[in-house]
Chain A
Amino acid sequence: MDEEILRVEHVEKRFGGVVALDDVSLSIHKGEICCLVGENGSGKSTLIKMISGIYAPDKGDIFINGNNYKKLTPIESIHEGIQVIYQDFSLFPNLTIAENVAINEQLAEGARLIDWKKIYKTAASGLARINISLPLDAVVSTLSTAERQLIAIVKALLADARIIVMDEPTTALTQKEVNSLFKLIFDLKSQGISTLFVSHKLDEVSAISDRTIIFRNGQKVIDQNAKELDVKKMEFYMTGHEIDDRAIQFTKVEENALPLLQVENLNLAHGFFDISFALKPGEVLGITGLLGSGRTELALALFGELPIDSGKIFIDVKEVFIKNIVDAVHAGIGFVPEDRVREGLFLDHSIANNIVVGIIDHLKDRFHFVDDKQKTKVGEEWIKRLEVKTPSGELPVKNLSGGNQQKVVLAKWLASDPKILILNSPTVGVDVGSKAEIHELIRNLAKQGLGILMISDDIPELTNTCHRVLLMRNGRIIDEYTQENISVKKLNSELVKSTGLDDASLGRKEK
C-alpha cells in the first residue's frame, strides 16, 4: 500500500541569488492525497516545475518509481506518470471533448493521419473511468470550469497518471462542484492514484488531506498527518508566527450616524433577490456566501457592471441610479476586483500611471496638460502610504508581487477619495504578510470614515476586518453576524452546513 512513487532528496534550486528551494526532501506514496501549502514565494510552484521536469535541481536527486533522474525532462516526467493540471487545464477551447482528451495519445504515437473512430473510443473510455457523461463532440468552450477540470483529469488519467498535481483547483468552482471534485479525488485514491493538491484554502486542506506538507521560504517545515494539524497550526507554520486575532482593535461605529449606503429591495434576475442593508460611515460590512450565492453579483451590481433590475440605492441618504461603472464611480464608489490582472491593473504601465488613472483629470497644470511632476508625486505618496515595495514608481507594475500589486489597485481607488469601497476577495493570491498589511489598511480606512463592503469567502479575513457580516445563500441574505456573535468556527460551520464537506457525505473511509 505504501509504495513510494515520488521521492525528492535534498533538492536545491537557485535563481540568480534567490534560493527557491532549500534542502527539500519529501515523498509521495501510492494512493496518497498530499496537500502542499505555503505562501506565494514559498517554493511550491518551483517544486512542481521540478517534478514535472521544467526545472532541473541544482543539487539533489529525484526518484520516480524507483528511477533516479538527475536531469528530468518533461517527457520523462509524463512517462513516469506525473501529470500536472494547469490553470487553463491545457485544453483547446475550440476543439471537442473527444479531441482534447485523445490528443496526448495521438501525439505520443506520432501518427501522421487521424483515426477519428479511435479518438472517440479513447475519449469514451476515458470519461467512463471517472463516471461522467458529457457529449463527446461538445466543444470545450461551451463547458463550465468544473466540467473542463474534469476533462483535464480524464486527460491525466488516460496518460496513465500515477500522481495528479492540481494547482489551486477550486478557485472557480461552486461548493457543489468542489464536493464533486473531492469525491473524485477520493475515488482516484481508491484506484491507487495519488493527488498532490496545492491550495491556500486551509479549510479545504483540512477536509481532503491525508498528509499535509507546508513550505516556507523555500524550506519544508511540516510534513505530517493531516489530522495532527488544524487551521491555526497551519497558519503558524506558513508564516512563522501567529496571526494574533485578539490584538485587533475595532473602532466603534457611530450608532446614530446617517447611513453612507442604503439599499432597499435590490433584485437582479439570476443574481440576487430582495437585498436590503445599510452601511454606516466607518463600518466594514462583510458579505459572504459560497460561490453562486449571489455575493459577487451584488458587488458588481453596486458597482454598475451588472445594473439592478429593481430596487433603490441611497448614498448619503440621496437616491442614486447606477446604470454603469461611470455612474458608480461618480457616486463615490470604488471597486477592488478579485482578478486584479484582468480587471484592476495595466501591467505594462508604470506603478504611478496605475495609481493615477482614476484621477488623471485632476492632475492638470495651468496649460491643461498632464502635470507630470504632480503625477509622480501622487504616485510616490501612495507608494509610501501603502508601503508598496518598489524602488521606483516608474517601473512597470507587472514586476511587483501579488500583494504589492493589490496595494496599487487599492491606491488607485483611495487616490480618488471614494465614500464607499467595495472589495471583492481582495487577498486572493496574496502572501500572508501582505495580507495582514492590507487588513490593517482596511481597518484604518474605516477609522477614517470610509464605508467598506468586503466580499470574501475567507472566514478569518472576515472576522479580522468586519464589524458585521451578512451571509448570503441562493441570492438572499439569510443571516447577519456582528463582532459580538461572530466567530470563525460559527461562520465556517454555517457555510459548510449545506455543502457536504463533512466526512460522511464525502464518502471518506478511515485508513
Chain B
Amino acid sequence: MAVNTRLPKPRISLFSKLKSSKFSSQTWLLLIVSIGLFLFFALKDPRFVAAPSLKSMGFQLPEIGILSLAMLLPTIVGGIDLSVNSISNLAAVLSGFFLVKLLPPDLLAANPVLYIVLALGLALVVGAVCGLFNGLIVGLIDVPPILATLATYTLFTGIATGITGGKTVTGFPDQVGSIGAGTLWGIPIPFIIFIVLTVLVYFLLYRTTYGFKVRMLGSNPTAAKFSGLKNNSILLTLYMISGILSSIAGILVMSRTMSAAYEYGTTTYVLLAILITVLADIVPGFGSVFNIFISVLILQILSTGFHMILAGMQGSSFFKDFFWGILMIFIFILNFFLHRKETQN
C-alpha cells in the first residue's frame, strides 16, 4: 500500500474556529447588535429597562418568536413556509369557533377549563393537519416550497375567512386570557413558552437523531436518499411540527387579544418571520436556534424602544419598520465584508 504523507496542519483561523463552534460569527454579531441596541434605548429612556416595559416586551415578542421557530424548520431543510401565519390564524379561528359557536354555552360555563383545554388541543391538531398538508405537497408531489406554501397560505386563510364569514370571533370565557396575559414569577407566560419552545426546537434539531437527519437532508436531499434516509417521512414530520408551532403562536394571539381573526398579521408577520431567519443566517442544513432567539429579541427591542422614545410623534410605531429594514441591510453588508475577509485567510 502506498505510504501516506502527513498533511501539514492547516491554519485554522480564529474566524473559522468561531464559525465551527456553537457560536458562529453571526451569533456574535447579533449578540453585539442586540446588546448595543438594548443599551442605547436604556440610556435614552430609563423606563425602557423598567419592569412594565420588559414585561410588555415579554408579552409581545413570543408570537413572532414562535412563528419564526415555525419558519426555521422548513428553511433548514432547504425550503420556506409562507403559510405559517395563516396556519396560526386558522388554528385560532377553528379553536375559537369550537369554543364560542359550537359548544352549547351552558356546557362551556359549567366546565370552562376542560373545554378550553380541548379547544387548545383542537388548535394543535389543526396546526398538525395543515402542516401535514404542506408536507404532502412539498414532499410527495414535489412542488417548490415557495409555490406550495403560497397556495396553502391562500387556502388556509380562505378556510378561516369562510368559516368566520369575515368576522372576528369573540366572546371567549375569561380563562382563555390567562395564558396570554398571565405571568409566572413575574415573567410573562408567553415568554416562558417561547423559551421552552426554543429549547425544545434546539434539542430537536441538534440533539435528536431525527434532527440530525433533518440537517443532513437539508444539506443534500439526493445524498440523503442514497444514504437510506426516509426523505418523505422526515419532511412530513417536519412540516407537521412546524404547523404545530404555528398553531401555538395562534393560541397565544387568541389568548392575548381574546379574539380570533382570520387575517391577523397578514403578510407582515410572515415577512418578519422570514426576515428573522435570514438575519439568523439559516441556510439549508445549518442554522442556529439561538440566532433566531436573538433576532427576535432585536426585533422586539427595536419595536418597544422606538415606540418609547418616539412616543407622541405621529406614526411613531412605524419607525421601527424603517429602522428594521435598514438594520437588515446594514447587517447584510457587514456580513459580506466579514465573509470576504474569511475567504482571504
Residues on A facing B (Cβ under 8 Å): 305, 325-326, 328-329, 335, 337, 342-349, 353, 357-358, 360-361, 363-364, 368-370, 387, 389-391, 394, 412, 416, 433, 436-437, 440
Query: In whole Å, how far is B199's beta carbon from the nearest beta carbon of chain A?
Result: 13
**A437 surroundings in chain B (CB, below 8 A):** 1-2
* Least distance between B233 CB and chain A CB atoms (Å): 9
A391's contact among B1, B7, B211, by CB below 8 Å, is which?
Answer: B7
Q: How far is the CA of A343 from the CA of B223 in the complex (A)?
A: 4
CB <8 Å contact, B220 and A347: yes
| A357–B229 touching, CB < 8 Å | yes
Top 6 A-B residue pairs of the complex, sorted by shortest distance between their CB atoms: A329-B228, A369-B207, A346-B219, A343-B226, A433-B2, A360-B209
Question: Using an 8 Å CB-CB cutoff, how does the interface string of B215-229 with A read, 1 for contact, 0 for none?
Answer: 110011011111111
Q: A97–B220 Cα gap in the complex (Å)?
A: 31
Please measure, in the bound complex, the distance between the C-alpha atom of A56 and the C-alpha atom of B209, giving whole angstroms.
48
Residue among B7, B222, B227 with the most chain A CB within 10 A? B227
Q: Which residues of A contact B222 (CB under 8 A)?
A: 342-343
B341 interfacial by beta-carbon distance below 8 Å: no
Given contacts A325-B226, A346-B220, contact A390 B7 (CB under 8 A): yes
Complex-state Cα separation, A394 to B1, whole angstroms: 26
Q: Does B10 contact A (CB under 8 A)?
A: yes
Q: A326-B230, A349-B215, A391-B7 are known contacts; what are 13 more A-B pairs with Cβ within 8 Å?
A: A326-B228, A343-B226, A344-B226, A345-B220, A346-B216, A346-B224, A346-B285, A348-B219, A353-B216, A358-B227, A370-B208, A370-B209, A387-B4
Question: Which residue of B209, B215, B223, B228 has the most chain A CB atoms within 10 A of its CB atom?
Answer: B228
- Least CB distance from A411 to B in Å reads 12
**Cα A391 to Cα B209 with chains together (Å):** 26
Q: Which residue of B lies closest to A436 (CB)?
A: B2
A-B contact pairs, 28 of them (CB 8 A): A326-B228, A328-B228, A329-B228, A335-B226, A342-B220, A342-B223, A344-B223, A345-B223, A346-B223, A348-B219, A349-B215, A353-B216, A357-B212, A357-B213, A357-B216, A357-B224, A358-B227, A361-B209, A369-B207, A370-B211, A370-B212, A387-B4, A391-B9, A416-B228, A433-B2, A436-B1, A437-B2, A440-B1
Contact B229 A363 (CB under 8 A): no
Instruction: Report whether B10 and A391 are in contact in the complex, using a CB–CB cutoff of 8 Å.
Output: yes
B286 within 8 A of A: yes
Q: Which residues of A contact B211 (CB under 8 A)?
A: 370
Task: For B285, give its contact among A348, A364, A370 (CB under 8 Å).
Answer: A348
Contact across chains for A389 and B4 when beta carbons are under 8 A apart: yes
Tell me the bound Cα distance from A436 to B4 in angstroms.
Answer: 12
Known A343-B223, A412-B227, A436-B2; judge A349-B207 contact (CB<8 A): no
Query: Is B203 engaged at the interface, CB distance under 8 Å to the other chain?
Result: yes
Smallest Cβ distance from A443 to chain B, in angstroms? 11
What residues of B have a CB within 8 angstroms of the CB of A370 in the complex? 206-209, 211-212
User: Is residue B20 within 8 Å, beta carbon to beta carbon, of the partner chain?
Assistant: yes
Q: Which residue of B lies closest to A327 (CB)?
A: B228
What residue in chain B is nearest A304 (Cβ atoms)? Answer: B228
Beta-carbon contact of B2 and A360 below 8 Å: no
Q: Which of B263-307 contact A (CB under 8 A)?
A: 285-286
Cβ of B2: which chain A residues have Cβ within 8 Å of it?
Answer: 433, 436-437
- Assembly CA distance A412 to B226 (angstroms): 11
* Cα separation A105 to B268 with both chains bound (whole Å): 47
Cβ contacts under 8 Å, A412 to chain B: 227
Once the chains bind, are A357 and B209 in contact (CB under 8 Å)? no
Q: In the bound complex, how far is the Cα of B222 from the Cα of A335, in angstroms?
A: 13
Q: How far is the CB of B328 from chain A (nearest CB, A)?
A: 24
* Chain B, residue nearest A433 (CB): B2
* Residue from A325, A337, A345, A433 with most neighbouring chain B CB atoms (10 Å): A325
Q: Which of B129-177 contact A (CB under 8 A)?
A: none
Residues of A within 8 A of B209 (CB): 360-361, 363-364, 370
* Complex CA–CA separation, A443 to B178 (angstroms): 69
Best-buried of B2, B207, B222, B223 by chain A (most CB within 10 Å): B223
B231 shortest CB reach to chain A, Å:
9
Q: Which residues of B sit under 8 angstroms from A440, Cβ to Cβ?
A: 1
- Contact between A389 and B7, CB atoms less than 8 A apart: yes
Separation in Å of the B16 CB from the closest CB of chain A? 9
* Given A363-B209, A369-B208, also A349-B216 (CB < 8 A): yes
Q: Which residues of B are found within 8 Å of A335, using beta-carbon distances?
A: 226
A364 to B211, CA, bound (A): 13
B224-242 contacts to A (CB < 8 Å): 224-230
Which residues of chain B come closer than 8 Å to A368, judged between CB atoms?
208
Q: Measured between alpha carbons, how far is A305 from B223 in the docked complex, in Å?
A: 12
Q: What is the CB-to-nearest-CB distance from A377 to chain B, in angstroms, rounded to a whole number?
A: 16
Bound Cα distance from A326 to B229, whole angstroms: 7
Q: Which residues of A contact B203 (CB under 8 A)?
A: 369
Q: Which residues of B contact A390 (CB under 8 A)?
A: 7
For residue B10, which residue of chain A has the nearest CB?
A: A391
Q: Report the Cα distance A469→B219, complex, angstroms.
A: 37
Q: How far is the CB of A175 from chain B (nearest CB, A)?
A: 27
Nearest residue in B to A440 (C-beta to C-beta)?
B1
Task: Give the interface centre of A349, A358, A361 by most chain B CB atoms within 10 Å.
Answer: A349
Residue of chain A at shortest CB distance from B3: A433
Q: Of B203, B211, B225, which is in contact with the most chain A CB atoms at under 10 Å from its CB? A: B225
**A375 nearest CB neighbor, chain B only:** B212
Instruction: Collect the chain B residues with CB atoms within 8 Å of residue A394's CB.
Output: 20
Nearest CB in chain A: distance from B273 CB, A: 24
CB distance from A211 to the nearest CB of B (A): 29
**Alpha-carbon distance A335/B228, docked complex (angstroms):** 10
CA separation between A342 and B223, bound complex, in Å?
Answer: 6
CA distance A363 to B212 in the complex (A): 11
Task: Give A434's nearest chain B residue, CB to CB.
Answer: B2
> Bound state CA distance, A24 and B81, in angstroms?
55
Check if A325 sits within 8 Å of B225, measured CB to CB: yes
**Would A348 and B286 count as touching, CB distance under 8 A?**
yes
Residue of B nearest to A372 (CB): B207
Chain B positions within 8 Å of A363 at CB level: 209
Q: State in angstroms the CA–CA spacing of A302 and B211 once bound together.
A: 29
Structural contact, A360 and B220, CB atoms closer than 8 A: no
| A357 proximity list for chain B (CB < 8 A) | 212-213, 216, 224, 227, 229
Identity of the chain B residue whose Cβ is nearest the Cβ of A334 in the assembled complex: B228
Q: How far is the CA of A424 from the CA of B221 in the complex (A)?
A: 20
Which residues of the partner chain A approach B7 to less than 8 Å between Cβ atoms?
389-391
User: Known contacts being A369-B208, A370-B207, A436-B2, is A325 close to B228, with CB within 8 Å?
Assistant: yes
Kindly identify which residue among B10, B206, B212, B223 contacts A360, using a CB–CB cutoff of 8 Å: B212
Give the docked Cα–Cα distance between A389 and B209 (Å). Answer: 27
How far is B312's CA from A227's CA once the two chains are assembled, in angstroms?
91
- Give A457 to B37 CA distance when docked, in angstroms: 63
**Complex: how many Å from CA A348 to CA B284?**
10
Which of A325, A357, A370, A389 is most buried by chain B, counting CB atoms within 10 A of its CB?
A357
User: In the complex, which residue of chain A has the Cβ closest to the Cβ of B217?
Assistant: A346
A416 to B228, CA, bound (A): 11
| Chain A residue at minimal CB-CB distance from B215 | A349
From residue B150, how far is it (CB to closest CB) to chain A in Å? 23
For B285, the chain A residues whose CB sits under 8 A away are 346, 348-349
